A = this chain, B = another copy of it.
Amino acid sequence: MNDLPKRISINEEGPREGFQIESASISTASKIELIDALSETGLGHMQIVSFVNPKAVPGMADAEEVVAGIKQRDDVQYTALWLNERGYDRALKTGRLHMEGALNLYASEAFLQKNQNRTSEQQRAAQDTLIQRYLSDGVPLGRGFVSAAFGCNFEGCIDPQRVVELVGELITIAEGYGLSLPVIGLGDTMGWATPEAIRRVVGAVRNVYPEQRLSLHLHDTRGMGIANAYAGLQMGVDAFDSCVAGLGGCPFAGNKGAAGNVCTDDLVFMCDEMGIETGVNLDALIRCAQLAEEIVGHALPGSVMVGGGLSKFRDALGKRG
């Protein structure tokens, strides 16, 4: 039956996913304003920028300035994404980020080729290079990640056994250095997953690696994000990446306006209502979602930010109705 966790960890990725895909005209000050507002909601982990080629991703050209400008709270871990040593060096140099080494493998060779122009072998070698840097810099390993774990526009459905193998490979790479991975993320990078696929893949991984903590990175491209998160919760998954207001987007969808990552506000609403702790104040988060919409200048896909939470009704009724 259900095995819902009592609490979940949310890794807020709205600033990174969102500003990466939005037009580059958003000011550094606006990015900082949103990150600072998110810092006050109870979120404990936030991926705020990516250190990637500014020619490829102009919206992240000001990553250093964003990191330098935020008001840091001690109880929030601010992290960044990088794909290679150059990006890692930039992140390290800021001196203000929570540095955690990440390892990333791809369940789809074709997608890896398109996205990173690497073979699986080259990707694995790149992870070795990175892990050696982490070790020499005293940066702990944070998480492993399997991209395209549920389906791929260029390869179709992904065999759950392929994901199990890659999870094993990530664990093996870490063990090769006497390390372990606190969490391994499974990414529905192109929005192929359904709740049943989540159950199938998470179940297959769990069968072989019952002790490995898993997280889910869910794109809402086809409206399955919250249902997929629920299926993950049912399988006991207690860590999720999500984006305030549903910021982000899917560059691989049929249409440019496709939704981004699963919406943090909607996820927090669902958890609140099901008695699962998130540590996040929903009303404060909804205000951030509205701020995000103002900043990007167009409607964002979040639902609770429009439909409203239920606290005002409960308050009016004078009870947790």
Are A224 and B223 within 8 A (Cβ)?
no
A246-267 residues with Cβ-Cβ distance < 8 A to B are 250, 253-255, 257-259, 263, 266
- Residues of chain B within 8 A (CB-CB) of A317 are 155-156
This chain's copy number in the assembly? 2
Given contacts A254-B312, A299-B299, contact A259 B224 (CB under 8 A): no
Asked if A222 is at the interface (CB within 8 A of a chain B CB), the reply is: yes
Are A255 and B308 within 8 A (Cβ)?
yes
Q: Secondary structure of the A side of the interface?
A: loop
Are B250 and A307 within 8 A (Cβ)?
yes
Given contacts A153-B313, A227-B226, contact A303 B259 (CB under 8 A): yes
Q: Give the A interface residue count (CB, 8 A).
A: 56
A255-287 interface mask toward B, CB cutoff 8 Å, 1 = contact, 0 = none?
101110001001001100110000000000000
Most buried by B among A192, A269, A270: A270
The distance from the CB of A291 to the nearest CB of chain B, in whole angstroms, is 16
Asked if A187 is at the interface (CB within 8 A of a chain B CB), the reply is: no
Given contacts A151-B310, A156-B313, A313-B156, contact A223 B254 (CB under 8 A): no
Given contacts A270-B194, A274-B194, A274-B195, contact A307 B226 (CB under 8 A): no
Most buried by B among A155, A199, A258: A258
- Residues of chain B within 8 A (CB-CB) of A151 are 310, 321
Are A195 and B306 within 8 A (Cβ)?
no
Asked if A230 is at the interface (CB within 8 A of a chain B CB), the reply is: yes
- Residues of chain B within 8 A (CB-CB) of A304 are 222-223
Given contacts A155-B321, A223-B303, contact A254 B308 (CB under 8 A): yes
- Taking CB as reference atom, which chain B residue is nearest A156? B321
Question: Chain A interface (Cβ within 8 Å of chain B)?
Answer: 1-2, 4, 151, 153-157, 191-192, 194-197, 199, 220-224, 226-227, 229-231, 250, 253-255, 257-259, 263, 266, 269-270, 273-274, 299, 301-304, 306-310, 312-314, 317, 319-321
Instruction: Supply 29 A–B pairs (Cβ within 8 Å), ascending by A.
Output: A1-B1, A151-B321, A153-B313, A155-B317, A156-B321, A194-B274, A195-B227, A195-B230, A197-B273, A221-B307, A222-B269, A223-B302, A223-B307, A224-B269, A224-B303, A226-B226, A226-B227, A227-B227, A253-B308, A254-B309, A255-B306, A255-B307, A255-B308, A257-B306, A258-B303, A258-B307, A258-B308, A259-B307, A301-B303
Nearest 5 A/B pairs, CB to CB = A156-B321, A254-B308, A223-B303, A221-B307, A227-B227
